[in-house]
């Protein structure tokens, strides 16, 4: 049951709705996949009036939309939204999604501070979540936390930084960011877990949900959704390649 807050509710801004409409990369009768733009939260709350869900409901008031999983507001990339309750439950089970925020079995692209070793590095470090005064979530590596597994694969080193692909087996809050900070290779632009780092021309954290493979509900056919690296992130990688030369 959803109850509207008392008083007049303002609709999401048209510019945001236009961005969301343009970001849909796949849709059928049960779900849609977005290449979520950075800067848009997945839902309203904590000082944010509108998110992806509120935007989709404003775009199509006669349809139902529910989040299958979440992404940080700053993080761009593949986001799955269910259009029917049956699809929501099936997709969440497939993604092993529970109380945590980000879906596992997803691949990300990220740019890290420093030089990561070649090959793939696996981090198995339990994570403990807490809420700071003011409502901000903070996560740390703690033996009393929940089991968390991330795999970091070096793609190439550029200008003293490392461009990597990440695969997560668990979907803990801020998992990738905290594991990388623990490794002393914070994500470029991450001011929460990597505040002391070289300045680069970027206004957000360099983390992009690049690929997600799922089995389509009620069909059994696997598909892989791919979200290309956004222009701002690609331009930064290209500029570092020039420095590397």
C-alpha span between 176 and 148 (Å, rounded): 10
List the catalytic residue out of 62, 72, 101, 232: 72
Residue 116: half-sphere exposure toward Cβ, Cα within 13 Å? 29
- From first CA to last CA, the distance across the chain in angstroms is 58
Per DSSP bridges, beta strands 24-27 and 31-36 are antiparallel
C-alpha span between 71 and 57 (Å, rounded): 18
Residue 100 annotated as catalytic:
no
Which residue shows structure tokens 């009768």? 29
Spatial contact of 103 and 95, defined as CB atoms under 8 Å apart: yes
| CA quadruple 228, 234, 240, 245: dihedral, nearest 10 | 70
**94 to each of 82, 98, 106, 120, 238, how far by Cα in Å?**
13, 11, 12, 25, 36
Active site residues: 72
């Amino acid at each position: 049951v959803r109850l509207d807050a008392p008083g007049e509710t303002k609709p999401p801004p048209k510019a945001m709705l236009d961005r969301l409409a343009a970001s849909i990369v796949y849709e059928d009768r049960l779900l849609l996949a977005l290449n979520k733009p950075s800067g848009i939260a997945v839902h309203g709350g904590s000082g944010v009036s509108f998110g992806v869900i509120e935007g989709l409901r404003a775009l199509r008031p006669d349809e139902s939309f529910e989040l299958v999983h979440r992404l940080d507001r700053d993080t761009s990339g593949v986001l799955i939204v269910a259009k029917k309750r049956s699809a929501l439950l099936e997709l969440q089970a497939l993604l092993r999604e529970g109380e945590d925020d980000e879906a596992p079995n997803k691949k990300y692209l990220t740019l890290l501070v420093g030089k990561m070793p070649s090959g793939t590095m696996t981090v198995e470090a339990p994570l403990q979540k807490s809420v700071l005064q003011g409502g901000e979530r903070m996560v740390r590596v703690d033996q009393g936390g929940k089991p968390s597994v991330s795999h970091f694969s070096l793609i190439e080193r550029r200008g003293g930084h490392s461009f990597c692909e990440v695969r997560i087996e668990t979907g803990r809050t801020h998992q990738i960011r905290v594991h990388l900070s623990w490794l002393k290779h914070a994500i470029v632009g991450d001011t929460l877990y990597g505040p002391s780092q070289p300045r680069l021309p970027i206004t957000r954290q360099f983390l992009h949900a690049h690929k997600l493979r799922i089995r389509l509900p009620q069909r059994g056919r696997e598909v892989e959704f791919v979200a290309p690296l956004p222009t701002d992130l690609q331009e930064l990688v290209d500029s570092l390649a020039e420095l590397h030369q």
